[in-house]
Structure 1
Amino acid sequence: MDFIVKSARPETLKTATLVIPVGEGGLLGATAKAVDTASGGAITTLLKRGDLAGKPGQTLLAHGLANLKAERVLLVGTGKEAELSDRQLRKVVAAVYGVLKTLAGSDALLALQDLQVKGRDAYGKARLLVESLADAGYQFDRFKSQKATPGALKKITLITDKADTAAVERATREARAIAIGMTLTKDLGNLPPNICHPSYLAEQAKELAKAHKNLKVDILDEKKLQALGAGAFLAVAQGSDQPPRMIVMQYNGGRKGDKPHALVGKGITFDTGGISIKPAAGMDEMKYDMGGAASVFGTLRAVLELQLPINLVCLLACAENMPSGGATRPGDIVTTMSGQTVEILNTDAEGRLVLCDTLTYAERFKPQSVIDIATLTGACIVALGSNVSGLMGNDDELVNQILAAGRQADDRAWQLPLYDEYQEQLDSPFADIANIGGPKAGTITAGCFLSRFTKAYKWAHLDIAGTAWVSGGKDKGATGRPVPLLTQYLLDRVPA
């Protein structure tokens, strides 16, 4: 979908549908009043009938209003004045898109001036609105015999004040890039595991590099991983016929010699739990256990779209966790790339095993910061549900930067502690460290495990087990998170 920004009087513009915000109690802003006046009070007349109370997300479609060049006017409720939250804005956008996609018109005008969102300026409001609209049309029907019928809507024009035009144009450009990244993340997540395996992801990385000259890709196969001493990584993959891959993607958009930022994604393309096998119910959703890697792909895609002037390294730890005669057993001890030994008490705690070697590999890039992203623990869902991602790290400044990026992007995280007391739960009588810390504080002890491999740089860990996909039912599917948070973090790192 195309997005255009204009500074104009909406009542003078030709369009299939003009969208006008209406506050609770029929409150009209300055732009809506101008449209109402131009139409001879038609909007006021409609509101007096009581068909639209103005609550967030309510809609009323009117055709053929006099003296307007718009074929139809869509009134949408926005609630009490200046009290519209980010969540309510998303509901308003969903309601607007739900009507627009049913209409025959190929374009729409959105009057932004009257839309007030708590804590957001023109840029922030437009960014969230465009991102939500662009994402609302996502469909995944690649494996359906009957494809979805393409909608008629092709273009949305945002009407804004002249003083805000530059900010809204920037917001629109960045929101579109984020939406493109989210689409890639969703597509990869929603693919079935018989197609989306480690080698497939490696090929996708190569295809991305072909299209972008400032992207370099290196694929580390089993032999290279063995030569590096990645014993933990290889242990996870040894029960599967699908070979593991560490995918290294280097984007050089910044100055030569500038230290890169690094994103590390867990890419378990299917997780049975291995010998510590999972229950059958819902196991199909373990194709989403590569959500961390998918989100890194999506974030890199957004960065490439924007050509951000930064250097970025993306490391994807890709493997399949299967039970077989050659699979890792509970009680096995492996040696990691760092030289630390790990007693594997539970083969279903495999994500931290591929990540620990990948985090060690990240040291060679001398990164400014490292963020790993992983669907790591069910305990994170117990603690935080599906609304926010879990966050831990070894540097307060980095953690606060990520939290701030999450608030700006409306893709929030919540910090959990990494106290020394939790580290003691990982003690092993036979190895340097155990791969689980018992039933208590499972998300935190997973973070503690990873922290032992990140002492050489500033590091943070995002547990997205609750936010990477929607579970069960007809709405099941990848969410595209935390691409907005990660992209915002990188936008914030762009040199002034």
Structure 2
Amino acid sequence: MTALTLSSSSAATLRADAVVIGVAKGEKGPVVASGAEAVDKAFDGKLATVLETLGATGGEGEVTKLPAPSGLKAPVVLAVGLGDTPDKGEGYGAEALRRAAGAAARALSGSKKGAFALPVGSAADAAAVAEGALLGAYAFTAYRNSNGNGTGNGKKNADDKTTPLAEVTLLGAKPRDKAFKAAAERATALAAEVNRARDLVNTPSNDLTPKAFAAAAQTAAKEHGLKAEVLDEKALAKGGYGGLTGVGQGSANPPRLVRLAYTHPKAKKTLALVGKGITYDSGGISLKPAGHNETMKCDMSGAAAVFAAVVAAARLGLEVNVTGWLALAENMPSGSATRPGDVLRMYSGKTVEVLNTDAEGRLVLADALTRASEEKPHAIVDVATLTGAMILALGNRTFGIMANDEAFRTAVHGIAEEAGEQSWPMPLPKELRKSMDSPVADLANIGERAGGGLVAGLFLKEFVGDGITWAHLDIAGPAFHEGAPFGYTPKGGTGSAVRTLVRLAERTAAGDLA
């Protein structure tokens, strides 16, 4: 992973491949942001004019490279857009800093060192820049054997542009200040875990089976002092986990339920996180149509987010107990697969008529939610790429939040905003519950097509223990990005919801949530 260092050196004297400065969008043209004073001086105070001549506007995410003058040790100046100039007395928002730093880090792929001279007037600013740069520097290269020029010789050139920026040096960040040091440490741990989730999501399903996913969790547990328990297909069948068993029975790769637990001796509360981990989703017998299968390795993004968040809590030493439940299965069609019309007996004892085998995520989550409820946590949050309906409602960059407690839903929405993740609170209309009534079972796994994402939330609510506060995050839109990278968001797995879950754990540890 990209290294992060703090430095009090001047942007003019530090040796690096490039010095990164911020440019804002002013009323009369680009405005050089604070932090770049030494660079502007090297341009005789005319840096803004030079940038405008080159067509720079300061628009968000805009990147302009120009050769450095003789007064700088770095050979290149990289100006990145911050968006509109803030009002007097206000700084740039954390998300603007994250995205600018991320865009700059991506533009410096293949470089050894970037000196970031962006506005860092506070430790919070430094945290945002560090986080954005480390997330933007991400690249998934596990399956690349070529050297970047198509020869496929198994070796990498030093100038391979697919290689992430090796080091981010944050200028003006007060390396001896406790707040700045803590911000850097948090950003490093958080980015590492978001990138862990991204790696898992990007890994092909032939390698990331439920068994392999469970093994990865066990390995991380040993490294970070977590307790890991894995139920294999025999234990699941014996324990009555009808949802996990039913979804996974059509695959040659059997299901798993993983429990990861981080405990702190001073913790007063326990937060349970539940993740959907469908390592590949063909739709089962209700096969997905052509064009909808190619990215279905990402259907385990919820479990990846939960896994990463639990490890992050351990790395940060948070004073809260965090338990992660990874509901892992592969949904495949075969002679042994669950059929439409079959009835499954869930771990809770409730029976579910399976009318659509492609509505499988809610089945594995139901078992995990019931099991998590048995431990009586203070709150449960599940995360899942659950419904295409949520994408239709909120688009590709925003996840929906549903909950059995309006105050908790509001709090999670606010926490997501703090973390820099786009979300929106969604309702759980009682009238939609009737659409899941079944003539042969306690309920069906699908209901009305209109409001399908809300119906799925209502289904999950049926399996949350009485009196337990619960929220459901449907990350179907932002979990996997198929377009061009932007800001600190790469193409492919994004690590959606990891930052929200970690912030939620921090707020719980601080006693900010009831």
Whether these two folds match at TM > 0.5 is yes
3-state SS of 2:326 partner: strand
Cα offsets for 1:229-254 (capped at 9, x unmatched):
22222111121221111011111134
1:111 aligns with 2:121: no
Contact 1:260-1:365 at 8 Å conserved across structures: no
Partner of 1:216: 227
Partners of 1:48 and 1:335 in 2: CA distance: 66
Per-residue Cα deviation, 1:235-293 (whole angstroms, up to 9, x for no partner): 1112122111101111113436x442111011111111111111132312111111111
Cα RMSD over matched residues?
2.8
1:173 aligns with 2:178: no
Q: 1:93: which partner in 2?
A: 101
Aligned to 1:397: 407
> What's the CA shift for 1:15?
4.3
Equivalent residue, structure 2, for 1:480: 495
Distance 1:19 1:260, change over 3 A: same
1:365 alignment partner, SS class: coil
Corresponding position of 2:78: 74
- CA shift digits 1:192-237 (9 cap, x unpaired): 1111111111111111122123x11111122322332222221111
Task: Within 5 Å, give how 1:364-443 maps onto structure 2.
Answer: 364-443=374-453
1:3-56 CA-partner distances (Å, limit 9, x unpaired): 222345544545443333233324345544455446644636735856544444
TM-score when scaled to structure 1?
Answer: 0.89
Give the Cα–Cα distance (whole angstroms) in 1 for the partners of residues 315 and 273 of structure 2: 17
Change in CA separation of 1:54 and 1:339 when aligned onto 2, cut-off 3 Å = closer
Alignment of 1:299 onto 2:309: yes
Relative to structure 1, is the Cα distance of residues 228 and 44 closer, same or farther in structure 2, using a 3 angstrom cutoff? closer
1:343 CA displacement: 1.1
Q: Distance in 1 between matches of 2:351 and 2:144?
A: 47
Aligned CA distance change for structure 1 residues 132 and 328 (closer, same or farther; 3 Å)? same
Q: Deviations over 1:89-109 (max 9, x none)?
A: 455334422443365xx3332
Q: Distance in 2 between matches of 1:225 and 1:97?
A: 45
SS at match of 1:300: helix
- CA drift of 1:64 comes to 3.2
Percent of counterpart pairs with the same letter?
Answer: 39
Distance 1:210 1:459, change over 3 A: same
- Partner of 1:59, secondary structure, is strand
Which runs of 5 or more residues in structure 2 are unaligned? 149-159
Which residues in structure 2 correspond to 1:51-450 (within 5 Å)? 52-56=56-60, 57-66=62-71, 68-82=72-86, 88-101=96-109, 106-113=112-119, 122-147=122-147, 149=160, 151=163, 153-160=165-172, 165-213=177-225, 215-255=226-266, 258-450=268-460
The answer on whether the counterparts of 2:18 and 2:75 sit within 8 Å (CA) in structure 1 is yes
Paired residues in the alignment total 485
Decide which moves more: 85-94 or 222-231: 85-94
More deviation, 15-24/418-427: 15-24
CA contact (8 A) 2:175 2:181 kept: no
Change (3 A) 1:177 1:436: same
> Are residues 78 and 222 of structure 1, via their aligned partners in 2, closer, same or farther at CA, if it must alter by over 3 Å?
closer
Q: Assess if the C-alpha contact under 8 Å between 2:137 and 2:164 holds in 1.
A: no
Q: Tell me what 2:156 maps to.
A: none
CA distance in structure 2 between the aligned counterparts of 1:376 and 1:464, rounded to whole angstroms: 7
Q: What is the alpha-carbon distance in structure 1 between the residues aligned to residue 270 and residue 110 of structure 2?
A: 45
Bigger Cα displacement from structure 2, 379-388 vs 136-145:
136-145
Trace 1:446-485 onto structure 2 (pairs within 5 A): 446-456=456-466, 457-471=468-482, 477-485=492-500
Given that residues 7 and 165 in structure 1 are in contact (C-alpha distance below 8 angstroms), is that contact kept between their aligned partners in structure 2? no
| Aligned residue type for 2:254 | P
Q: Match of 1:118?
A: none
SS of residue paired to 2:290? coil
Note closer, same or farther for the CA distance 1:425–1:206 as it changes in structure 2 (3 Å cut): same
8 Å Cα contact 2:11-2:117 kept in structure 1: yes
Asked if the contact 1:255/1:311 (under 8 Å) is kept, the reply is no
CA contact (8 A) 1:302 1:487 kept: yes
Partner AA of 2:23 in structure 1: V
Structure 1, unpaired ranges of 5+: 116-120
How does the TM-score come out when normalised to structure 2? Answer: 0.86
Q: 1:45 to 1:378 in 2, by over 3 A?
A: closer
Residue identity matched to 1:201: F
